[in-house]
């Protein structure tokens, strides 16, 4: 299964300020999941090399340094490099927040222009910003001015209404020259509905951004999905999100398929142990551990199994 080109995904990725991402297999940011005990359990099992935070809203003002440091602290406590994601509508505030997050220890700061939530889009943030590619370029420029040589990135989708918008978005990104681009192959309007040409869209973006490290996302549920995306599109890495909830060992399985350290896929017993640790480390009463139930359902755990009742 190993492909020589894709084996580069196992190599470190240098960033412009002398720091380095340890590899190109990253967990996608997951609102309500990538936090708390999920960080602890995934890290303790060596299932991730880097963390990419869910978005932090930057709205009426720039959060104080102490607040940003406290928000970032659980991710930094894992000992893994952290990409901090921010979202908002005011370029100057976003740029100032990015500088403070770098000062707090983030290895990169990511501008969210991808979230398809109707609430977020209704507030003209997240994926809404794809309607104004010039705004994306201006905001990335502002972030560059405040962050200097430290890494900045952007998360996009392949358009707001249509993938026909992709060339204009890519032109704005070429002007702004972020250090990394993360792209989910659906449009904002498509939310998470099936699309037939997702990989072709990523291939098009690869052609439009030939010199920018590009990470692909969308329907990455298996090793085969990841390898197919890499072989078809030429992306520099992948960022599974929903697939990582379904299979917390997915990144390690992909790495093993590319010639990295051997990894045995998680068994049903392993998944139950994983969920048990999520529950125990959450520090919450069982009735409030809804995210554990969500993860369990995504993993396909059978709650009728005797071991499940020990959680």
pLDDT tens, residue by residue, 256-281: 999 999 999 999 899 999 999 998 87
- Torsion over CA of 54, 48, 272 and 257, rounded to 10 degrees? 130
- pLDDT value at residue 282: 65
Instruction: Work out the burial of residue 139: count CB atoms within 10 Å of its CB; fewer than 13 is exposed, 13-18 middle, 19 or more buried.
Output: buried
- pLDDT value at residue 163: 98
**pLDDT at residue 143 above 80?**
yes
- pLDDT value at residue 10: 97
Whether residue 129 contacts residue 80, with contact meaning beta carbons closer than 8 Å, is answered with no
Say yes or no: 45 and 136 in one domain. Answer: yes
d(CA 256, CA 268): 20
**Count of domains observed in the chain:** 2
Say yes or no: 47 and 147 in one domain. Answer: yes
How many Cβ atoms sit within 10 Å of the Cβ of residue 66? 10
- pLDDT value at residue 74: 95
Pick the last residue of a domain from 232, 257, 282. Answer: 257
pLDDT tens by residue, 10-59 = 999 999 999 999 999 999 999 888 988 999 999 999 999 999 999 999 99
Supply the mean pLDDT for the chain: 93
**pLDDT at residue 308 above 60?**
no
- Give the SS3 label for residue 148: coil
d(CA 311, CA 301): 12
- Give the SS3 label for residue 184: strand
Say yes or no: 166 and 227 in one domain. Answer: yes
Please tell me the pTM assigned to this model.
Answer: 0.93
pLDDT tens by residue, 73-88 = 999 999 999 999 999 9
How many Cβ atoms sit within 10 Å of the Cβ of residue 74? 16
Say yes or no: 71 and 173 in one domain. Answer: yes
* Whole-number Cα distances in Å, 249 to 47, 252, 271: 6, 5, 10
Say yes or no: 13 and 125 in one domain. Answer: yes
- Pick the closest to residue 41 from 253, 249, 264 (CA basis): 249
**pLDDT at residue 1 above 50?**
no
User: 206 is in which domain, residue-wise?
Assistant: 6-257
Q: How confident is the model at residue 294 (pLDDT cuts 50, 70, 90)?
A: confident
């Amino acid at each position: 299964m190993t492909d020589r080109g894709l084996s580069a995904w196992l190599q470190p990725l240098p960033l412009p300020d002398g720091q380095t991402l340890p590899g190109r297999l990253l967990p996608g940011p997951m609102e309500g999941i990538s936090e708390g005990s999920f960080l602890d359990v995934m890290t303790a099992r060596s299932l991730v090399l880097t963390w990419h935070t869910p978005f932090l809203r930057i709205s009426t003002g720039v959060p104080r340094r102490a607040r940003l440091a406290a928000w970032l602290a659980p991710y930094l406590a894992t000992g893994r490099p952290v990409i901090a994601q921010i979202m908002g509508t005011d370029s100057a505030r976003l740029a100032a927040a990015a500088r403070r997050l770098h000062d707090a220890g983030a290895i990169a700061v990511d501008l969210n222009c991808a979230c398809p939530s109707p609430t977020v889009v209704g507030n003209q943030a997240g994926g809404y910003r794809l309607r104004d590619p010039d705004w994306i370029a201006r905001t990335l420029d502002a972030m560059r001015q405040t962050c200097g040589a430290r890494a900045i990135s952007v998360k996009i989708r392949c358009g707001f209404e249509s993938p026909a918008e992709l060339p204009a978005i890519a032109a704005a990104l070429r002007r702004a020259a972020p250090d990394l681009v993360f792209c989910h192959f659906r449009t904002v309007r498509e939310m998470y509905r099936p699309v037939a040409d997702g990989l072709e869209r990523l291939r098009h973006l690869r052609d439009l951004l030939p010199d920018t490290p590009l990470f692909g996302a969308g329907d990455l549920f298996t090793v085969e999905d990841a390898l197919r995306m890499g072989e078809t599109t030429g992306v520099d890495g992948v960022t599974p999100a929903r697939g990582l909830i379904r299979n917390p060992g997915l990144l390690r399985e992909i790495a093993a398929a590319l010639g990295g350290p051997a990894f045995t896929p998680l068994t049903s017993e392993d998944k139950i142990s994983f969920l048990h640790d999520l529950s125990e480390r959450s520090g919450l009463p069982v009735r409030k551990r809804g995210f554990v139930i969500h993860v369990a359902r995504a993993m396909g755990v059978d709650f009728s199994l005797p071991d499940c009742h020990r959680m």
